[in-house]
Amino acid sequence: MVHLNRDNEFEPRIYGFTSTASAVLTHLICIVFSVFIALLSRPGTSLFSWHPFFMTLAFSFFMTEAILLFSPHGSPIKRFPHKTKGRVHWILQCLCLSCAVLGLAAIAYNKHLNGKPHFTSWHGLLGLLTVCVVGLQSLAAVPLIYHSLAKGWSLAKLKRYHAASGLVTYLLGSISLLLGLCSAWFTASVREHTWYLSALCPALSALIIMNQVTSAYMAKKRLQS
Ligand code: HEM
């Protein structure tokens, strides 16, 4: 009997600890990675420098923090009501979209000034798609605030679709970041082991965010069935 009680307390503690540890790790990764790219690109020294700076801020920092704040264990505003979390989430996502548009404008204008062709690499093509998807995802999220805009759709269904498409958007952002790290500019700026460490940042964050969103979805499904 005593054993059972101990087990019951021990198990959730282990899961709680690992969830908190992975969320803290993701906060650290997204901050360190954004600061590292900012130091390397030195925003303001050239028009190009704004591109990696704004894109990393958008996808590694703002988008990751916007999702992490719903983490049951690692949210910095864990104790706040869900409504407040929703509000902070859309403010961070608006900042993400603004930075993404600025980053895209910087690289597109830089290429135009240098007479280079546009969207010729996989990074450029997927990056353009990612920025368009973030715009669409943000537009599609408006009915979550003004529910009357989506007649015939329950709020629960809207939220489920928003989370699933948001996950795809986050993965697109992470892959675009990874492809950006494969660019001639970045590979020429860092040594091999720094490259691997940098690539680990968006890859690890994507895995942890994927786990957070799918766990929340599975928990809701279990409650409904
Ligand atoms: C999710 C984040 C990112 C997105 C959405 C993105 C998007 C884009 C787009 C659309 C272009 C093509 C612009 C044009 O052809 O007019 C581009 C080019 C470029 N990006 Fe990014 N980018 C991101 C992150 C990064 C990062 C982190 C770096 C560097 C570490 C980077 C480095 C470059 C370079 C060097 C180019 C010019 C060469 C090329 O077109 O491939 N990008 N990016």
Task: Calculate the CA 177 to chain-centre distance.
Answer: 11
CA-CA distance, 155 to 165, in Å (whole number)?
15
Q: How much of the chain exceeds pLDDT 90, in percent?
A: 82
Distance in angstroms (rounded) separating the CA atoms of residues 176 and 134: 13
Q: What is the pLDDT of residue 14?
A: 87
Return the half-sphere exposure (C-beta side, CA atoms, 13 A cut-off) of residue 7: 4
For 34, how many CA atoms within 13 A lie in the half-sphere containing its CB? 21
DSSP for residue 149: G
pLDDT (0 to 100) of residue 4: 47
Buried residues in 175-193 as b, exposed as e (16+ CB within 10 A): bbbbbbbeeeebeeeeeee
Q: Which residues contact 56 (CB under 8 A, 6 or more apart)?
A: 33, 34, 37, 38, 177
Residue-level pLDDT at 9: 76
Residue pLDDT, tens place only, 88-128: 999 999 999 999 999 999 999 999 999 999 999 999 999 99
* CA–CA gap between residue 62 and residue 92 (Å, rounded): 6
Residue at 175: amino acid letter: I
Q: Which CATH number fits domain 2-224: 1.20.120.1770, 3.40.50.2300, 3.40.50.620, 3.40.50.10860?
A: 1.20.120.1770
Cβ–ligand 1 contact at 55 (below 6 Å): yes
Helix axes 192-224, 155-181, angle to 10 degrees: 170
State if residue 128 touches ligand 1 by the CB under 6 angstroms criterion: yes
pLDDT given at position 2: 44
| 60 torsion bin: left (phi>0), alpha (psi -120 to 50), beta (else) | alpha
199: Cβ contacts below 8 Å, ≥ 6 apart: 178, 181
Evaluate: CB of 176 within 6 angstroms of ligand 1: yes
Which among 216, 217, 223 has a CA at the least distance from the CA of 73? 216
Span from the CA of 179 to the centroid of ligand 1 (angstroms) = 8
Ramachandran quadrant class, 44 (left: phi over 0; alpha: psi -120 to 50; beta: rest): left
Query: In the chain, which stretches have pLDDT less than 70?
Result: 1-8, 221, 223-225
pLDDT given for residue 12 in this prediction: 80
In angstroms, what is the span from residue 126 Cα to ligand 1's centroid? 9
Regarding pTM above 0.85, the answer is: yes
Tell me, in angstroms, the distance from the centre of ligand 1 to residue 107's CA.
7
